[in-house]
Amino acid sequence: MAKKKVLVTGASGLIGGLVVKNLGHKYELSALNRRPVEGIPCLAADIAEFAAILPAFQGIHTVVHLAGFTDSVTEWEGTERVNIRGTYNVYEAAMRSGVKRIVFASSGGVTLGYELDSPYTEIVAAEYDRIPEKWPMITQDSPVRPITVCYVSKVFGEALGRMYSDQFGISVLNIRLGAVLARDKPILRRHYPGYLSHADCVQMIERCIDAPDSLRYDTFDAISNNRYRWRDIEHARTALGYVPVGSAEDHEIDDKGGRHQVSSTPLPPRD
């Protein structure tokens, strides 16, 4: 059986590298990237230039859209160029080329505003003696609460996907990625709730690529099996069979937490 043709945007980033390394044997991968990517066919182009990127989409079944502006979560110019205009270009090129599915790398940052409220404030501050035994989980249906323009652009990407799914029949699956860190372990206590291991990140992307074509539009939180997780992963379990194998609690760190680390300090970029 022929391998599914999968285009990865932003393949030179941390998550893109994980996809190429761990899923290259399963799919016929290609890349759309600002600079060449070794090991797979790559079109080097600026995602904000529509005509330049269009050839990368020919014959592609699934696009894994990982490219994003990571220099600053508060800079509008770069965010607008890459995350707004670039994401629109990806969807438009996919539609014109007959792509069947787009897996969109959204972010848990679209709900970080909940950290301004108790008990989520205490959870990310690692004030464990003030945390109740149970707390309400934030789901894919909860109102979005982005805290910077970067995360606002991710909300835009999710909404844009809904339009392309409804209007043009493309399957769009949004992954609200947790904290994927270069060393594959938490650095701060505030990472404990949203930590996403490399293995679990790859698993979620793979399950989205392989999901039935009948799954037309959906949104999933991707987080490892963390004790202090406050974003729901049950929907991903039910719809995709996602079962995380990692946990933030597998890693002990020196950081003791504290309110200076609450959500006004965004998570570090994924790549």
> Please, what sign has the CA dihedral across residues 106, 107, 108, 110?
negative
Q: Answer whether residue 263 shows pLDDT above 50.
A: no
Say how far apart CA 173 and CA 209 lie, in whole Å.
9
Q: Answer whether residue 228 shows pLDDT above 90.
A: yes
Say how far apart CA 147 and CA 125 lie, in whole Å.
17
Measured distance between the N- and C-terminal CA atoms of the chain, rounded to whole angstroms: 34
Reported confidence tier of residue 252, pLDDT bands at 50, 70, 90: confident
171 to 22, 61, 85, 162, 165: CA distances (angstroms): 23, 11, 20, 9, 6
When pLDDT is averaged across residues 194-200 and rounded to a whole number, the result is 98
Domains recognised in the chain with CATH numbers = 5-261 (3.40.50.720)
Could you give the dihedral angle defined by the CA atoms of residues 199, 185, 135 and 175, in that order, rounded to the nearest 10 degrees?
-40
When pLDDT is averaged across residues 111-120 and rounded to a whole number, the result is 97
Percent of the chain's residues with pLDDT above 70: 95
Q: Answer whether residue 270 shows pLDDT above 60.
A: no
What pLDDT, in 10s, does the model give residues 74-105? 999 999 999 999 999 999 999 999 999 999 99
Percent of the chain's residues with pLDDT above 90: 89
What pLDDT, in 10s, does the model give residues 148-170? 999 999 999 999 999 999 999 99
Q: Answer whether residue 110 shows pLDDT above 50.
A: yes
Say how far apart CA 89 and CA 19 lie, in whole Å.
22
Say how far apart CA 1 and CA 8 lie, in whole Å.
21
Q: Is 38 helix (H, G, I), strand (E, B) or coil?
A: coil
